[in-house]
């Protein structure tokens, strides 16, 4: 059994054409979503796509032996910083509806992970209505949490700030995990969105472990995408400060979080597992996505992460079973 906790929606172009219209008229023409048939939605999952190495979504996950994939919105599409906030809400809600329909069309292959309408013009408590709708009405098993709703245009409160507490309260109430994953990245930032993801996830880990969040919310379940940004690989910089501060050792605090294996080299995955522990690592690929390109050195996909995990020779069969499926099944109550 392989459960991939880090997948994103593959949707027909009509959804994103509608988004372009929302951005053009800024809500003046209303928010009626496009009429996308079940057949059209089904076809999108089997169509080859140039961004996916000219193969389809199902070609990728079937080829990697993924039995169940948790799918969320494509983060860079989420336009959290756009105005007015109603277009952010409309697009988020319809994207979640399309995720739900995809789960219904392919039962047993997908589970939904919600996007939240994280407009900075809304109070975070207002974001949680969509979290509650998707979990209680649509059967979603978690949510994406973008640590930078401004998408690079301003400096947001760090995740240790009380600003985020309404979201943490809702996550604990519903008993679902949050997957930390940044979204778009707009000027004046210097970096592309893919690098912005890693930077924001790095800051997210630092701010959570430097705050009272995990004490105030002992049942909070947080997964950090892309192997935790930079922190697991730079953990040595934080160990001395943990000793100076006294209290809980830094590694013990780090292991209150979970991390996905959405890294594209064996060495990085191996280091993540050594630092975080087998029990804190969840199999994730983002397949199809950034890594969906043929590696000229191997002839395989960069995002064939199952092969990289299998190549770590010191993992036991029980370790692999935990990383590939058991940890996710326990955490998401699958």
The side-by-side arrangement of strands in the sheet containing 281-282 is 3-8, 68-72, 110-114, 142-145, 178-180, 222-224, 258-260, 281-282
pLDDT of 247 reads 84
pLDDT of 244 reads 87
- Taking only the tens place, the pLDDT of each residue in 286-326 is 999 999 999 999 999 999 999 999 999 999 999 999 999 99
The helix/strand/coil state of 309 is: helix
CA-nearest of 30, 34, 17 to 98 is 34
The C-alpha atoms of residue 96 and residue 179 are separated, in whole angstroms, by: 15
Integer-rounded Cα radius of gyration of the chain: 19
Query: Does the structure show a pLDDT above 90 at 197?
Result: yes
CB 285 within 8 A of CB 6: yes
The proportion of the chain whose per-residue pLDDT surpasses 70, expressed as a percent, equals 100
Other beta carbons within 10 angstroms of residue 174's beta carbon come to 18
The proportion of the chain whose per-residue pLDDT surpasses 90, expressed as a percent, equals 96
Q: Strand pairing of 68-72 and 3-8?
A: parallel
pLDDT of 30 reads 94
Q: Which CATH superfamily is domain 3-331 in?
A: Metal-dependent hydrolases (3.20.20.140)
Query: Which residues, 6+ apart, have CB-to-CB distance to 99 below 8 Å?
Result: 9, 71, 72, 73, 110, 112, 113, 114, 140
The C-alpha atoms of residue 274 and residue 21 are separated, in whole angstroms, by: 47
Residues 14-31 have a mean pLDDT of 96
Q: Has 317 been annotated as catalytic?
A: no
Query: Does the structure show a pLDDT above 90 at 245?
Result: no
Q: What angle do CA 40, 43, 45 make, to 5 degrees?
A: 120
Quick one: how far is CA 197 from the chain centroid? 10
- Taking only the tens place, the pLDDT of each residue in 121-134 is 999 999 999 999 99
What are 301's strand-pairing partners?
Answer: 294
Residue-wise over 273-302: b if at least 16 C-beta within 10 A, else e? bebbebebbbbbbbbbbbbbeeeeeeeebb
pLDDT of 281 reads 98
Residues 324-333 have a mean pLDDT of 98
User: The pTM is what?
Assistant: 0.96
The C-alpha atoms of residue 196 and residue 230 are separated, in whole angstroms, by: 12
Residues 260-278 have a mean pLDDT of 98
Other beta carbons within 10 angstroms of residue 254's beta carbon come to 25
pLDDT of 241 reads 85
Residue 237 CA: distances (Å) to CA of 225, 230, 242:
21, 11, 10
Domain residue limits, the chain? 3-331
The helix/strand/coil state of 304 is: coil
The C-alpha atoms of residue 256 and residue 199 are separated, in whole angstroms, by: 20
Q: Of the listed 93, 286, 317, 321, which one is catalytic? A: 286
Q: Cα(first)–Cα(last) distance of the chain, in Å? A: 12
Higher pLDDT among residues 116 and 190, named by residue: 116
- Taking only the tens place, the pLDDT of each residue in 144-175 is 999 999 999 999 999 999 999 999 999 999 99
Question: 242 falls in which pLDDT band (50, 70, 90)?
Answer: confident
Residue 195 CA: distances (Å) to CA of 184, 191, 229:
10, 6, 9
């Amino acid at each position: 059994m392989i459960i991939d906790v880090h997948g994103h929606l593959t949707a027909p172009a009509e959804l994103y054409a509608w988004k372009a219209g929302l951005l053009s008229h800024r809500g003046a023409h209303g928010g009626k979503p496009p009429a996308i048939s079940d057949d059209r939605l089904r076809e999108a999952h089997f169509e080859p796509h140039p961004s996916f190495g000219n193969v389809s979504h199902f070609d990728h996950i079937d080829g990697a032996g993924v039995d169940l994939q948790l799918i969320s919105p494509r983060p860079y599409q989420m336009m959290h910083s756009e105005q007015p906030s109603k277009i952010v809400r409309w697009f988020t809600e319809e994207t979640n509806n399309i995720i739900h329909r995809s789960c219904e069309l392919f039962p047993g292959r997908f589970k939904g992970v919600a996007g939240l309408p994280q407009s900075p013009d809304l109070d975070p408590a207002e974001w949680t209505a969509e979290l509650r709708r998707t979990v209680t009405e649509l059967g979603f098993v978690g949510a994406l949490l973008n640590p930078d709703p401004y998408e690079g245009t301003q400096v947001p409160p760090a995740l240790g700030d009380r600003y985020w507490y309404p979201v943490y309260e809702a996550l604990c109430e519903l008993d679902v995990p949050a997957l930390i994953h940044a979204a778009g990245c707009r000027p004046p930032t210097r970096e592309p969105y893919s690098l912005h993801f890693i930077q924001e996830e790095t800051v997210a880990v630092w701010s959570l472990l430097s705050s009272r969040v995990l004490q105030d919310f002992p049942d909070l379940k947080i997964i950090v995408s892309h192997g935790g940004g930079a922190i697991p690989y730079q953990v040595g910089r934080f160990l001395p400060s943990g000793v100076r501060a006294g209290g809980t050792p830094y590694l013990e605090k780090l292991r209150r979080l979970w991390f996905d294996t959405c890294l594209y080299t064996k060495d990085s995955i191996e280091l993540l597992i050594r630092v975080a522990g087998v029990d804190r690592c969840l199999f994730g690929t983002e397949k199809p996505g950034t890594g969906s390109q043929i590696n000229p050195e191997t002839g395989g996909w960069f995002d064939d992460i199952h092969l990289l995990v299998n190549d770590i020779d010191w993992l036991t069969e029980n370790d692999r079973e935990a990383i590939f499926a058991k940890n996710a099944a326990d955490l998401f109550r699958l």
